[in-house]
């Protein structure tokens, strides 16, 4: 369980670096958030090993919230271009090395939240997030 | 020890063929390879002994090849050369241009401090092609097999 939480935080930390205009975090707050990218691990079919280690990849639901659907759509397209990339990312005060491999991207769609007057864009990214050193 | 996964793009890199002459080789990358595998086709000799029915087997040899699919980028010298070889075949009926194609590729060796390290090999190959063209709406591509002739040489960077 601990490992899944850290993986989520590593992916958030990496996306923060690429999208400085957005707040990137694990949960959306209705109070004062305008431009936000929310990253949450999702269940799905996985490759599991015979060795007692974590499954190969996870699914991450990435939801972009903002005020303009055009901007959200463009940001979603930009995130989708990470497909096939293999990144080594340093995380935390100990500068731990993590690898992020972006695999397949699916189900991009616009979402509308009438109650909180926001538009959003939702997608699922299949990623390998793994501590390497 | 931590796991360190790689993508297929990380396993074999920079597949290139000689687009210069045999005396002065110039290697051009086949950048638009969308699928690439390094195959080891092992030959074996099998036999049984009289006291049981369980197979014994030894490896007697191996045919190695690089196989893949390339999307046609007609601005790429290496792809233009391969198409040129087909033109020569049609026009003059010769096949010698498909023998002894000098190819180069980087094969993943190990990881050191989070950085992947590669060994570059130069090999003589014979090139066979398949399926040039296809459905009208699809991007142009062809399948190829480069069968490695003999041992290759390691190229230092």
Tell me, what's the pLDDT at B52? 94
Tell me, what's the pLDDT at A1? 59
Which residues in chain B have their CB less than 8 angstroms from residue A132's CB? Answer: 2-4, 111, 114
Q: What span, in angstroms and rounded, lies between the C-alpha atoms of B5 and A65?
A: 32
Tell me, what's the pLDDT at A117? 57
Tell me, what's the pLDDT at A115? 61
Torsion over CA of B74, B146, B130 and B63, rounded to 10 degrees? -170
> Which residue range forms the structural domain that includes residue A55?
2-131
Most A-contacting residue of B1, B7, B11 (CB-CB within 10 A), to test interface: B7
Tell me, what's the pLDDT at B33? 96
Nearest CA in chain B to A52: B3
The pTM of the full predicted model, rounded to 2 decimals, is 0.88
**Domain of A24: which CATH number?**
3.30.2000.10
Domain boundaries, chain B: 8-155
Q: If interface means Cβ-Cβ distance under 8 Å, which residues of chain A face chain B?
A: 53, 56, 84, 86, 88, 97, 99, 101, 128, 130-133
CB atoms A53 and B7 under 8 Å: no
CB atoms B10 and A128 under 8 Å: no
Predicted-complex ipTM score: 0.85
Q: Long-range contacts: B39-45, Cβ < 8 Å, 24+?
A: B39/B64, B39/B65, B39/B66, B39/B67, B40/B64, B41/B65
Burial of B70 (0-12, 13-18, 19+ CB in 10 A): buried
pLDDT of chain A along its 133 residues, tens only? Answer: 588 899 999 999 999 999 999 999 988 776 667 788 999 999 999 999 999 899 999 999 998 888 788 888 889 889 999 999 999 999 999 999 999 999 988 887 887 766 655 677 888 999 999 999 8
- Residue segments in chain B with a per-residue pLDDT below the cut of 50: none
Q: How many domains does chain A have?
A: 1
């Amino acid at each position: 369980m601990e490992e899944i939480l850290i993986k989520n935080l590593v992916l958030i930390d990496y996306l923060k670096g690429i999208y400085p205009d957005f707040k990137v975090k694990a949960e959306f707050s209705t109070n004062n958030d305008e431009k936000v990218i929310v990253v949450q691990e999702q269940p799905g079919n996985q490759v599991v090993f015979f060795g007692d280690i974590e499954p190969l990849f996870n699914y991450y639901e990435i939801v972009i919230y903002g005020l303009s659907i055009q901007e959200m759509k463009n940001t979603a397209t930009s995130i989708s271009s990470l497909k096939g990339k293999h990144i080594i990312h340093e995380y935390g005060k100990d500068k731990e090395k993590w690898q992020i491999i972006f695999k397949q991207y699916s189900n991009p769609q616009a979402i509308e939240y009438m109650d909180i007057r926001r538009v959003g864009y939702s997608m699922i990214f299949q990623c390998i997030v793994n501590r390497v050193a | 020890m931590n796991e360190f996964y790689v993508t297929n793009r990380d396993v074999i890199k920079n597949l290139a063929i000689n687009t210069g002459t045999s005396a002065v080789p110039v290697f051009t990358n086949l950048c638009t390879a969308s699928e690439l595998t390094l195959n080891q086709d092992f030959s074996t000799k099998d036999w049984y002994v009289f006291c049981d029915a369980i197979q014994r087997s030894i490896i007697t040899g191996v045919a190695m090849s690089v196989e893949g699919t390339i999307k046609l980028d007609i601005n790429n010298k290496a792809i233009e050369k391969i198409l040129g070889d087909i033109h020569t075949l049609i026009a003059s009926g010769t096949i010698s241009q498909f023998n002894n194609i000098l190819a180069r590729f980087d094969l993943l060796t190990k990881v050191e401090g989070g950085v992947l390290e590669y060994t570059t090999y130069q090999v003589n190959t014979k090139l066979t092609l398949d399926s040039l063209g296809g459905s009208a709406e699809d991007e142009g591509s062809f399948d190829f097999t480069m069968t490695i002739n003999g041992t290759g040489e390691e190229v230092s960077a």
